[in-house]
Structure 1
């Protein structure tokens, strides 16, 4: 009896060994790491701890005088995604920095970096350094990443130096973490620690699958739950920041929620799937398409809606002006509605967020003129431009008299339509910069000196 039982087991072991031998795993990933590691850099930041004026709605200035200003330093990681000096990192690594420097892999010195643009909603930022022929890490298709794939986290944890840790992909499409507005994280147990932020998560072939962003921790150290922004999302954000200095997202104009079992019994649909419309905003794309409160959105352009978070991510990735089909469940019957997607109102944009002395750097934060801002500040429809929401202490802007609440309408006598256009014109300017601003019901000219 024992021999009869042992024989099939032995055969199974031989078969398993033969199958494993069809695609042997390498005994070491050293060659892959050696090829990829130069594409990961260390990012150093310096900023003043106190002394920034900011605007609090509705357009009041807040200042904290009397505080001793002291420099604060920070450190994170970054990924080279352009041979001409383009680097991808986390927004929280460089947020509020007065000076950004990059240390290339294997280099002793640091080079000054310019902030091209940042997207707080995904915690991503793009930097540029004056360099050519840098080693680049290629993007993988992160939509094809599967749970169980090998994952390698590369960065500079705690500032101890260039380090690599290995693990697997623990989950994909992870949301609800509460870190950023748009969450679609790859979760990994590869060790990620402070200083790894902005570094690379690569697969076994050395391709970039994500930008290491955060960890779940009770005491600040790694416990095997790390999160990375997926490469496909990071690439879309990077491309838009390089093209226009900001990220443009699709906008539907609805407030949506989960379809709980209790709500499903009232509105129909399958509990735990779809997105229940709680409110349709007036004059928004959804209202114009005929959506109403109580609709359950079950498909968007043929793709099943898993939950409100997934729908929000999908709509954000649709170019404004594009038409999509929403399938809704209303009164127990499905209906198809054609919707022309709008543009999500813009986020604040840092104007000239490079280094002190860089042409075009003013030291202000700008915001698009949304309908809400126009109404609160009583800005006439004829006024187009960018709202100043924050002015750095000691900056060129402060010395010139720029204040929160002013609206920049022209740069060097060129009209600007929004915050992104203003930033682009400022980058083209050099020396003293002539601005036309609208403030307290009147236009005035301001020259921002070097």
Structure 2
């Protein structure tokens, strides 16, 4: 059976499903019907939560580029690339998180390339929505509608969510609006799934299917735990493995979008890996999980805070870390300038350091710190002539390895393989996660080409 991760492209809404809870635990449920047979019910909670989950309809135009083979260009002339535009329509869902301001959160892929966005409330009212901004790497977008007697979901502290907590997914699977499914939290801090650029997912067995994307994952108090974003299963069907963006991560991102119109990603300035038993034994450490620091970048926030190579980061702001991927996701979704407390283990001793994060979108980096083949190049965030965000090659030393692989000054690196990159940090992560040949999609003037690094 071919299993694959798939983005959930339709979305919204809420089918009622109850959790079979033993009688002995009924008293612990915050929403409970004491009448008659005393059957536990989610209905009271859902009556409060459902109006905050909305349906999103989008219309727009998708542009695709296709390279024209050289032999046809020779015979018929014309540019090396041709573009095609085609209209599209889509459905999705979102969650109202601020009733007064009219803020609606959804997945970035739900509203990607949308020219018109219409938000439909559970009571049938419709509003034209404005896209305030989006972050493709974390798959979060913030919309605004004109406030008019709206209902918002309160946010849970997703750092306090535990494996085994009951949760309810509200969405629009296969276009079936107002559908509810229930389950538990199956795992926390899931990363390394290659679903997106930044991964720190809540895993749940609540049934999530195509169309739940952008919907709400709530706890039994009716608080927003996460935004449903992806599923794992054959042909995009539910097999009891779904993923949601934690509410805390989402909130960090939308606060930046609301203030700046974009995400100003934080940067710690370290390279590293997960801690496992083999690494722990090699470092003579009793710590078997966390983020191992293999290198501290010069003039970085980490260096200024006193972090050293060989340190193991075991907690962030007092919350235990399970992996380097979890640390990277939490740091990158915090805003530039954010103050963070990191707990380290160094030579068996536990200590805490305070870090003020750099701005990953503005930080200029000597490229050899990312890959030896890039030595001689200097990189900084930039945009191509069409306004697409990427990595600007601001300098290339003559005769350097970067020059020999074909990079030139003013090149804009747009992607590594098929993964789009819009910041130096995203570029570094994409390079680190690529095995074998690295193919960088480069915009040079009006031409698109690939620069290849053979490892």
Summarize the alignment of residues 210-359 of structure 1 with structure 2, pairs less than 5 Å apart.
Answer: 210-270=226-286, 272-298=288-314, 305-316=321-332, 320-321=336-337, 328=344, 332=347, 334=349, 336=351, 338=353, 340-346=355-361
Alignment pair present for 1:93 and 2:89 = no
> In the alignment, which residue of structure 2 is the partner of 1:196?
212
Alpha-carbon distance in structure 2 between the residues aligned to 1:377 and 1:389: 20
Give secondary structure in 2 for the equivalent of 1:49: strand
Unpaired runs of 5+ in structure 1? 1-15, 54-61, 347-367, 380-384, 393-404, 408-418, 420-439, 441-450
CA drift of 1:77 comes to 0.6
Moved more, 295-304 or 177-186: 295-304
Alignment of 1:38 onto 2:51: yes
Distance in 2 of aligned mates of 1:122 and 1:338:
27
C-alpha distance 302-71 of structure 1, shift in aligned 2 (>3 A):
closer
Distance in 1 separating the partners of 2:167 and 2:321: 29
Rounded to whole Å, the distance in 2 between the matches of 1:113 and 1:63 is 37
Deviation of 1:93 (Å): 0.8
Matches within 5 A, 1:34-433: 34-50=47-63, 64-65=81-82, 67=84, 69-83=85-99, 84-107=101-124, 110-270=126-286, 272-298=288-314, 305-316=321-332, 320-321=336-337, 328=344, 332=347, 334=349, 336=351, 338=353, 340-346=355-361, 370-371=364-365, 387-388=383-384, 390-391=386-387
- TM-superposed deviation, 1:377: 8.9
Structure 2 counterpart SS, 1:241: helix
Q: For the residues of structure 2 that align with 1:50 and 1:370, how far apart are their CA atoms?
A: 31
- CA shift for structure 1 position 134: 1.2
Give TM-score scaled by structure 1 length.
0.66
CA displacement at 1:224 relative to structure 2: 1.2
Distance apart, 1:87 and its partner CA: 0.6
Q: Report the aligned-residue RMSD.
A: 3.7
| 1:63–1:104 CA distance, 2 compared to 1 (3 A) | farther
Alpha carbons 1:250, 1:319 under 8 Å: kept: yes
2:236 is paired with a residue whose SS is coil
Which whole-Å CA distance do the structure 2 matches of 1:106 and 1:119 have between them? 29
Aligned length: 346
Cα offset, 1:275, TM superposition: 2.4
> TM-score, normalised to structure 2's length?
0.65
Q: Which residues of structure 2 form unaligned runs of 5+? A: 1-21, 34-38, 67-78, 368-375, 389-409, 413-422, 424-444, 446-455
Q: Is the alpha carbon distance of 1:277 and 1:146 closer, same or farther for their aligned partners in structure 2, counting shifts above 3 Å?
A: closer
Give the deviation of 1:79 after TM superposition: 0.7
Asked whether the equivalents of residues 91 and 123 of structure 1 are also in contact (C-alpha less than 8 Å), the reply is: yes
Conserved? CA contact 1:248–1:343, under 8 Å: no
For 1:296 and 1:173, how far apart are their aligned partners in 2? 18
Max radius of gyration: which structure?
Answer: 1
Could you tell me which residue of structure 2 aligns to residue 431 of structure 1?
none
SS class of match (1:216): strand
Match of 1:411 in 2: none
